[in-house]
Amino acid sequence: MESLFKLPVASGNTARILQITDTHLFADKHETLLGINTYRSYHAVLDAIQAQRRELDLIVATGDLAQDHSLAAYQHFAEGIFQLPAPCVWLPGNHDYQPAMVDALTTAGIEPSKQVLLGDSWQVILLDSQVYGVPHGELSEYQLEWMARCLQTHPERYTLLLLHHHPMPCGCTWLDQHSLRNPHMLATTLLRYPKVTTLVCGHIHQDLDLEWQGRCLLTTPSTCVQFKPHSTHFTIDDVSPGWRYLDLLPDGRVETQVYRLENNDFRPDMDSDGY
C-alpha cells in the first residue's frame, strides 16, 4: 500500500477538506454525459470553489473521475485540480480504469497515498471498493486488513473513512443494486474502532446525511449529472452540480456543508434512460 502522507493543518486545530466526486470526464472536452458537458461542469465547480476563497488542507476525490478509461480524461482532472491550493488524494470508482488512473495521476504529481495524517487529531483512510467491470462494490480482505492496521497504528486519532460505494440503502432501488456488497464485513472490522466517526462516499450523485452502524454516513453531489432521490428506476434530477466541505474538529466532531452551482447552466437530458 502507498506510503503514509502527513499534513500539518494550516488553519490551526481544524482540518479542512474539500470533496470532489464523480467528475466523469472524457478525453474529448466536448463530450457529454446524459446531456451535460462534464469538462465544463467540472471547471464551473472549480471556479466556484476558487471564488469562495476557503482555506483548504486537503482535497479528496472519491471516484468515477473518468468515464471513458482514457489517460487524457485523468490528465484533464489533474490539470483542473491543480488550480486549487491544496494537495489531492483519490480513490477509484466503478467507472474508473486504474492502470490509466494511476499512470496519469502519478505522472501529474497527484499524491497516491491512501492514508493521510492531518495535524495531531485526525487521519483520512481511502478504500478501494471497485470490482472491475461491474457497478457494485466490494472491499477485499486485503483492503479490510490494511484498514485495520492503519487504525491499530493510530488508535488515538479520529478517522474519516472514504470509499466510492455506499454501505447501506440510500432509498433509490436502482442505485441500491449497485451498493457495497459486503458492508457487514466492514461493520465487523470497525466494531473495535469507535473513533471512526464518519464515512464519506461518492457514487450515488446525491447529497445525503445518514446514520450507519452508529456512525455518520455522507454522500455528495457529482460535479456533473445528479440522480433523483427516492427513485425506483433510473431517474435524473435537475439540481445543479455540487461539492462538499468537511471541517474535522480536534474533539472528533465533523462540520460539513454541501454547495451547488448557483446558476443552472448544466441541465441534463431528462429523457435519458441510463448510461
User: Can you say which residues are annotated as belonging to the binding site for Fe cation?
Assistant: 22, 24, 64, 94, 164, 203, 205
Binding residues: 22, 24, 64, 94-95, 164, 203, 205
C-alpha dist (Å) from residue 95 to 20, 131, 135, 203: 15, 10, 8, 10
Terminal CA-CA length for the chain: 33
Give the per-residue SS3 of 58-113: EEEEECCCECCCCHHHHHHHHHHHCCCCCCEEEECCCCCCHHHHHHHHHHHCCCCC
Angle between helical axes of 183-190 and 141-153 (0-180°, round to 10): 20
Could you list the beta-strand ranges (E) of the chain. Answer: 5-7, 15-20, 32-33, 36-37, 58-62, 88-91, 115-118, 122-126, 158-162, 196-201, 208-212, 215-219, 226-227, 236-237, 242-248, 254-260
Binding residues for AMP: 24, 64, 94-95, 205
CA dihedral sign, ordered 104, 220, 146, 181: negative
Grid-cell match 456533473, residue found: 224
